[in-house]
C-alpha cells in the first residue's frame, strides 16, 4: 500500500470551490475509491486548489491515479454544476499539472495532515477517512 499527498490546482486558479461543489467532489472521490481501489484518507481545499491524501495499491502508477481522479471529478462537477464550466473556459476543471509525493520515511501521515491543514488561511477539510487494507 502506498499513501500519496496530491495537490490539484483549479484551472486559471479560479475560486470555484463552494460548499456544494466540495460535496460533489467528495461524493465522486468516494465512488472512485470504491471502483479503483483507492482510499481517500483526507480531502480538503484552499480557495483555488485541492489537497488529497490518497491510499492506493502498488500496481497503480500515481500518474494513472491522478488521471482517473482528475477526469472523473471534472466530468461530474461540470455535469452537476454547469455554471462552473462557464467560469473555466476550455473544458477543464484542473490545470494540466499536479503535485504528488509519497508519505513515508520523511513525512508520516500525521505530519502530512498537519502540513495540509496549515496551507493558506482558507483551508477547509471536507472529508476525513481512515487507512485500510485492500483485498487481493
Of the listed 12, 99, 115, 123, which one is catalytic?
Answer: 115
Q: Which residue has the cell 463552494?
A: 18
What letter would DSSP give residue 12? G
* Cα 32 from Cα 38, distance rounded (Å): 7
Beta strands in 1-136 (DSSP E): 2-9, 39-45, 49-56, 99-102, 124-128
106 catalytic per annotation:
no
Residues marked as catalytic = 115
Amino acid at each position: 500500500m502506498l499513501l500519496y499527498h496530491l495537490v490539484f490546482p483549479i484551472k486559471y486558479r479560479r475560486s470555484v470551490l463552494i460548499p456544494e461543489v466540495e460535496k460533489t467532489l467528495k461524493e465522486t472521490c468516494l465512488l472512485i475509491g470504491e471502483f479503483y481501489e483507492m482510499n481517500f484518507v483526507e480531502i480538503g481545499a484552499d480557495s483555488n486548489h485541492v489537497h488529497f491524501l490518497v491510499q492506493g495499491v502498488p500496481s497503480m502508477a500515481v500518474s494513472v491515479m491522478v488521471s482517473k481522479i482528475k477526469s472523473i471529478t471534472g466530468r461530474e462537477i461540470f455535469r452537476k454544476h454547469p455554471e462552473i464550466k462557464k467560469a473555466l473556459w476550455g473544458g477543464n476543471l484542473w490545470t494540466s499539472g499536479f503535485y504528488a509525493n509519497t508519505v513515508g520515511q520523511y513525512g508520516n501521515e500525521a505530519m502530512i495532515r498537519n502540513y495540509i491543514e496549515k496551507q493558506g488561511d482558507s483551508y477547509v477539510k471536507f472529508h476525513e477517512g481512515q487507512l485500510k487494507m485492500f483485498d487481493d
